[in-house]
């Protein structure tokens, strides 16, 4: 049972444009959501997070939006840069099991110069 | 400072053999996590340790899997009688604590191939 889904396996974007990565979840008990970025042969690195009490969190070029009623979150990258090319995972967790992250399958983002 | 390190980086083993994977967390991190990523899939939670509390083993897929942690340092993940479906990248992460906003820092992973 896939509780966190990233339905787009890949996304290709031109440099300077906006990248939008989507994530859907089914477990209404999730109260904290995270995005991780992963380069080949490296572990995932934390990018940005959002609590379920918010609907938006912004950090530089990265913004995460949360729509609880739709059980949907998205990551916007503006402007996209070639160095953003990586696999992006969304993840979620519930209180009090803070240690247990549930991940989506990942989306491969390619930003073309 | 040094990040999370894992060894070996690659391991090829024959079906039925036992394997041990090692994780060295960031110094001072009290929480340690193990995940695995099968080909084309997301990361799958296996187990986590927090200080002296009993570990959360709810993600271990079978009793062939076990993990130990020495104090707040090194952890080993042991897979007994390996099967081909155990082939995956095994990732370790650590965090300062276990609070809702504590970021997990991941190691590069161990790629396990069972032939």
**Tens digit of each residue's pLDDT (9 = 90 or more) over B41-71:** 889 999 999 888 889 999 999 999 999 998 8
For residue B40, what are the domain limits? Answer: 5-97
Q: What is the pLDDT of residues A39-90, one digit of tens each?
A: 988 999 999 999 999 999 999 999 999 999 999 999 999 999 999 999 999 9
Is residue B68, in this structure, part of any structural domain at all? yes
- In terms of DSSP bridges, do strands A10-14 and A107-112 run parallel, antiparallel, or are they unpaired? parallel
Compute the distance between CA of residue A97 and CA of residue A91 in angstroms, rounded to an integer: 13
**Mutate: best of A59, A87, A98, A103, partner B, most B CBs <10 A:** A98
pLDDT above 80 (res A96): no
Asked if B79 and B19 count as a contact pair (C-beta separation under 8 A), the reply is yes
**Sign of the dihedral through C-alpha A40, A88, B4, A83:** positive
Predicted confidence at residue A111, as pLDDT, reads 98
- Does residue B72 belong to any structural domain of this protein? yes
Task: Give residues with Cβ within 8 angstroms of A77, minimum separation 6.
Answer: A18, A19, A20, A21, A61, A62, A84, A109
Q: Percent of chain A having pLDDT more than 70?
A: 96
For residue B28, being part of any structural domain is answered with yes
In a domain, B115, yes or no: no
* Residues A68, B14: Cα–Cα separation, whole Å: 46
> What is the CATH number for A90?
2.60.40.10
- Tally of structural domains, chain A: 1
**Which positions in chain B touch A5 (Cβ < 8 Å)?**
none
Residue A37: pLDDT over 90 = yes
A interface with B, Cβ–Cβ < 8 A, is: 4, 6, 31-32, 36, 41-46, 49, 51, 89, 91, 93, 95, 97-106
Cα–Cα distance for residue pair B49/B51, rounded to 1 Å = 6
Number of domains composing chain B: 1
Q: What is the pLDDT of residue B51?
A: 83
Neighbours of B77 (CB within 10 A): 24
Q: What is the pLDDT of residue A98?
A: 67
Range name among A22-31, A69-78, A98-107, B106-115 with the lowest pLDDT average: A98-107
The residue of chain A nearest to residue B109, with distances taken between CA atoms, is A43
Cα separation, A46 vs A29, whole angstroms: 22
């Amino acid at each position: 049972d896939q509780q966190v889904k990233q339905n787009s396996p890949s996304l290709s974007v031109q440099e300077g444009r906006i990248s939008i990565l989507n994530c859907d979840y089914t477990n209404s008990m999730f109260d904290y959501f995270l995005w991780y970025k992963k380069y080949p042969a490296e572990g995932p690195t934390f990018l940005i997070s959002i609590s379920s009490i918010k609907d938006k969190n912004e950090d530089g070029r990265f913004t995460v939006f949360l729509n609880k009623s739709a059980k949907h979150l998205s990551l916007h990258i503006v402007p996209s840069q070639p160095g953003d090319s990586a696999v992006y995972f969304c993840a979620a967790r519930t209180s009090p099991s803070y240690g247990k992250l549930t991940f989506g399958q990942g989306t491969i983002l390619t930003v073309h110069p | 400072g040094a990040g999370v390190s894992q060894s070996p980086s690659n391991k090829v083993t024959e079906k039925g053999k036992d394997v041990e994977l090692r994780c060295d967390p960031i110094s001072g991190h009290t929480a340690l996590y193990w995940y695995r990523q099968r080909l084309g899939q997301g990361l799958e939670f296996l187990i986590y340790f927090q200080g002296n509390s009993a570990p959360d083993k709810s993600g271990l897929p079978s009793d062939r899997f076990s993990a130990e942690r020495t104090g707040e340092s090194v952890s080993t993940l042991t897979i007994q009688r390996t099967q081909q479906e155990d082939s995956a990248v095994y990732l370790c992460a650590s965090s300062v604590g276990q609070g809702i906003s504590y970021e997990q820092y991941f190691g590069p992973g161990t790629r396990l191939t069972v032939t």
